[in-house]
Amino acid sequence: MTTSVLITGTSSGIGRVTALRLARRPELSVYATARRPETLADLAAAGARVLELDVTDEASMARAVAAVEAEHGSVGVLVNNAGYGEYGTIEETGLDGVRRQFETNVFGLARMTQLVLPGMRRASRGRIVNVGSMGGRIVFPVGGYYHASKYAVEALTDALRFEAAPFGVKVSLIEPGLIRTSFGDTAARTLSGSAAPAGPYAALNTAADQQMAQSYRSTILSAPPETVAKAIEHAATAARPRTRYVVTPAAKALVHTRRLLGARVFDALLRAQFKGAA
Active site includes 201?
no
CA distance 255 to 199: 31
Catalytic residue among 31, 84, 87, 146: 146
Would you call 90 helix, strand, or coil by DSSP?
Answer: coil
Secondary structure percentages of the chain, helix, strand, coil, to 5: 55, 15, 30
Contact 19, 42 (CB under 8 A): no
Residue 200 contacts by C-beta under 8 Å, 6 or more apart in sequence?
91
Nearest-5° angle of CA 256, CA 259, CA 261? 100
What is the rounded distance in angstroms from the CA atom of residue 198 to the CA atom of residue 196? Answer: 5
According to DSSP, the residues that pair with 52 across neighbouring strands are 34
Cβ atoms 180, 214 nearer than 8 A: no
Sequential DSSP letters for 193-255: TSS-TTSTTHHHHHHHHHHHHHHHH-TTTEE-HHHHHHHHHHHHH-SS--SEEEESHHHHHHH
Query: Distance between CA 278 and CA 267 in Å, rounded?
Result: 11
DSSP-assigned beta bridge partners for residue 179: 223
Active-site positions read 146
